[in-house]
Chains A and B, each alone.
Chain A
Amino acid sequence: MIALLIAVPLAFAFASIPHERLGRYFLPFVALFNLVCLFFFMQPEQILEVGKWPAAYGIALVLDNVSYPFLILVNFLILMMSLSATLENRFGTLLLVLTAAVNGIILTGDFFNSFVFLEIISVIAYIIAAHKDNALGAFKYLIFGGIGGTMYLLGAVSVYVKSGTLNMAYASFITDPIVVPTICIFFLITFLVELKVLPLGLWAPDVYSNGSSVTPIALGSVVTVSLVYLFSRIFLNIFDLPNPQLVGILAMISIILAELGALKQKNLGRALSFATISGISTVVAALSMRESEIASAAYFYLFNDVISKFILFTLFAYLGERGFKSNKTAGIAFTFASLSVIGFPMFAGFWAKYYLLKALFQASSYALPAIILIAAVIEAGYLIKWNVELWYKGEDTPENTPKVQDGEQDSEMENEANEVEESFIPFGAQIVTLLLALTLVVIGFMPSLVHNQTMSIANNVLDFRPYLDLILRGGM
């Protein structure tokens, strides 16, 4: 039954080839089907051995208390994205395969299987990154991502050599203190590239700022959530992080550099992509501390970051850098999302930062909270500046328009004139951004809705016994 989450999107992807636009009509229904299956027909603590081969010899798909909330979040994001993005020809097919791959990488309990799904996600990401004439950014991403994938393959094969099987649960029996860090360095390189920790995350500004309504959301929200899940599964549940202090320091440097980089940008898209780098680096830095309170706050932070960036990037894609004069609802959603990223009270971001700082102080760590506060101040600086500029646009002369990037936004120069402002945002995108902004406010008033979930995820992920019991079933 769990395999339907992966098989149905894949079947619909193959079925959507005859006609070019079929894919974009299949996508919302498939995402809805996945959500309905998850809510009503599947309960956590299930394991499916594909092909009925025992877990060590074949592939096992595991649905436990850690993967269940992540699956719901990812399928929800895909449903929202299918309503709000404009998909060109054949992109629907690619996004259907992406749905299958993202569900697969969360469900799988086998190292090589996760490598294959990671490569599916990478290949689709290279194609989506080239949207809107951005072949150079996509090529940079291809080189970085290709090396990352190769390192993951080396890590998976080393697990096979040392433990005799490719299953994740059986691999956790490797305990040699020299072997485990060596294997984990391979996986760490892959995650540093994919989770955009600078300096290996330098592909992100070029890829996320292409002004498309699909790329930053599919890659920055959907794929990032699944990769954070994989990161937590490998480094918090099965193996130990090799040298957690070094990873923490790298992530902290990345936060500061990304915020400083965002400050200097004249293009809203690049500023937002640097803000994404900083957000995910915060999550990585917090997860590297291996405490359940800090991990729970990190997941809350991830939730807030992913939803706010969804709103921000969608509105950037449709409005470009026009103002909010004629799109007041869009402006409200944009402002809500930026306030949530900064951490204003009344929004979800406030609780994210509050829980994170509280947990860090309880664990007597002072470097990361200081960096988070500095980063929040810098974020407030440039996000408020952008908000002010966008709300009052249209009263200034066109000299205010920032540097044109690759000649693809010169149509804005014409729109700066006094023309009748139409609504450039499709109806679906308006509804989705308003809905998500409302979610941020609701969570801001009732954070326990999400906080209980994240506490349960964090407690389950740090305790390896339920996962091993599920797969080993009491015997080897």
Chain B
Amino acid sequence: MRRVWAILVAGVFLYFLIGQFLPIIPDFGNVDLFTRVAFDIINKSTTSNYNSVEFKKSKDLEDGSANVVTSIVVNYRSFDTLGEVSVLFCAAIGVGILASMLKSKRRIEFEEHKILRTSTGIALPLILLFGAYIFIHGHLSPGGGFPGGTTIALGVLLLMLSNNEFKVTDVAKHVEQSAGAGYVVVGLMGMAIGGVFLMNFLPTGVVGNLFSAGVVPIVYTFIGFKVGAELSNVISDLREG
């Protein structure tokens, strides 16, 4: 009986999606970017007139990152990223609260493995370095704070798998708190300097250099540390409560 209901509900929904929703969206690939705001965002001309952007040549545009998705996530729609950071923050606190309320004391132990232990010593610094590279170069290549932080947390997970005595200490909590507060402080500094919350108050430099795009690398560094610390806390809480 349950399966009948399920097929009915899924069928009605699919009928609505394919029959009514699909005709109103444009064909795959057949999009005219000029009708969407993305056109002005790609050409960095939301507050000025259209000027073509050239790699390593255009200087002091309204937004300096070569990665257009980064410019949306951290510059044009930075408020959404602040909300997203809060979602992760609340989820990590929730896992902490709920995992500490479990009555049975458990701790997941892994088998000791000599090869894993030795190779972790080689792989771990490379993983952490790669994670840091991802979030430092967020405005130049794909990636940014979230994948970078996740890679760092993966390094911590590898350390946990290979070494049973490793504990995530309170350092992670302090890192998380200061990084999160740092992001809000950057926003408030934008308010103090420029008059509007989350304004980009540093000079934007040349598109394509490492030191460009104003506040964007700073914000992504904060996010990278915060996400790395948070996910490490989540893994540690799930493991031992």
Q: Does B associate with A? A: yes
CB-CB under 8 A from B77, the residues of chain A are: 58-59, 112-113
User: Quick check: which of B81-89, B130-138, B139-147 contacts chain A, the rest being far away?
Assistant: B81-89
Cβ of A319 within 8 Å of any chain B Cβ, yes or no, is: no
| B83 and A161 contact, CB distance less than 8 A | no
Per-position binary interface string of chain A over residues 111-131, scored 1 when its CB falls under 8 Å from any chain B CB and 0 otherwise = 011001101100110110010
Q: Which of B20, B47, B80, B177 has the most CB of A within 10 A?
A: B80
The answer for the CA separation of A340 and B82 in the assembled complex, in Å, is: 41
- Asked if residues A127 and B97 are in contact (CB atoms below 8 Å), the reply is yes
Asked whether B83 lies within 8 Å of A53 as measured between CB atoms, the reply is no
Main secondary structure of the interface of A (DSSP, over half): helix
Provide the residues of chain B in CB contact with A15, threshold 8 Å.
177, 181
CA distance A179 to B26 in the complex (A): 12
A120–B90 CB distance below 8 A? yes
Candidates A51, A53, A97, A166; contact of B90 at CB < 8 Å: A97
Cα(A366)–Cα(B94), bound, Å: 47
Q: Are B176 and A17 in contact (CB under 8 A)?
A: yes
Contact between A93 and B93 (Cβ–Cβ < 8 Å)?
yes
At the interface with chain A, which of B111-119, B149-157, B161-169, B190-198?
B190-198
Give A412 to B56 CA distance when docked, in angstroms.
74
By the criterion CB–CB under 8 Å, are B83 and A51 in contact?
no
B87 touches A10 (CB 8 A): no
Mask of A158-177 contacts with B, CB within 8 angstroms, 1/0:
10111011100000000010
The answer on a CB contact under 8 Å between A56 and B78 is no
In the bound complex, how far is the Cα of B40 from the Cα of A117, in angstroms? 26
B35 / chain A contacts, CB cutoff of 8 Å = 164
Asked if A10 and B98 make an inter-chain contact with CB atoms under 8 angstroms apart, the answer reads no
Task: Please indicate which of the listed interface residues B83, B84, B94, B98 has the most CB atoms of chain A within 10 Å of its own CB.
Answer: B83
Which residues of the other chain, B, contact A17 by a CB distance below 8 angstroms? 173, 176-177
Q: Does B221 contact A (CB under 8 A)?
A: no
Tell me whether A11 and B184 are in contact (CB under 8 A).
yes
Give Cα A57 to B79, complex, Å: 13
A161 to B173, CA, bound (A): 40
- A11 to B35, alpha carbons, bound, how many Å? 38
Flag whether B187 is at the interface (Cβ < 8 A). yes
CB proximity to B under 8 Å, residues A184-207: 185
> What's the nearest-Cβ distance from chain B to residue A194, in Å?
17
Q: Contact between A50 and B83 (Cβ–Cβ < 8 Å)?
A: no
Contact with B along A1-30 (1 / 0, CB 8 A): 001000100110111011000000000000
Closest to A53 in B: B76
Q: Is B188 an interface residue (CB 8 A)?
A: yes
User: Cβ of B94 and Cβ of A165 under 8 Å apart?
Assistant: no
Known: A51-B198, A53-B76. A123 touches B180 (CB 8 A): no
Contact of B197 among A18, A50, A158, A160 (CB under 8 A): A50
Does B96 touch A at the CB level, under 8 Å? yes
Q: Which residues of B contact A104 (CB under 8 A)?
A: 83
Determine if A178 is an interface residue (Cβ-Cβ < 8 Å).
yes
Which one, A11, A90, A130, contacts B93 given CB within 8 A? A90
Bound Cα distance A48, B195 (Å): 10
B83 & A117 in contact (Cβ 8 Å cutoff): yes
Q: A3-B197, A119-B87 are in contact. Are A14 and B41 (CB under 8 A)?
A: no
Give min CB distance, A208 to chain B, whole Å.
19
Write the residues of chain A forming the contact surface with B, with a CB cutoff of 8 angstroms.
Answer: 3, 7, 10-11, 13-15, 17-18, 48-54, 56-59, 89-91, 93-94, 97, 100-101, 104, 112-113, 116-117, 119-120, 123-124, 126-127, 130, 135, 158, 160-162, 164-166, 176, 178-179, 182, 185
A-B contact pairs, 7 of them (CB 8 A): A3-B196, A7-B184, A14-B177, A18-B174, A52-B196, A120-B90, A130-B98
Q: In the complex, given contacts A50-B198, A56-B37, A113-B79, what are 10 additional A-B residue pairs having Cβ atoms less than 8 angstroms apart?
A: A13-B89, A14-B184, A50-B78, A51-B197, A52-B195, A52-B199, A58-B46, A158-B25, A160-B36, A179-B24
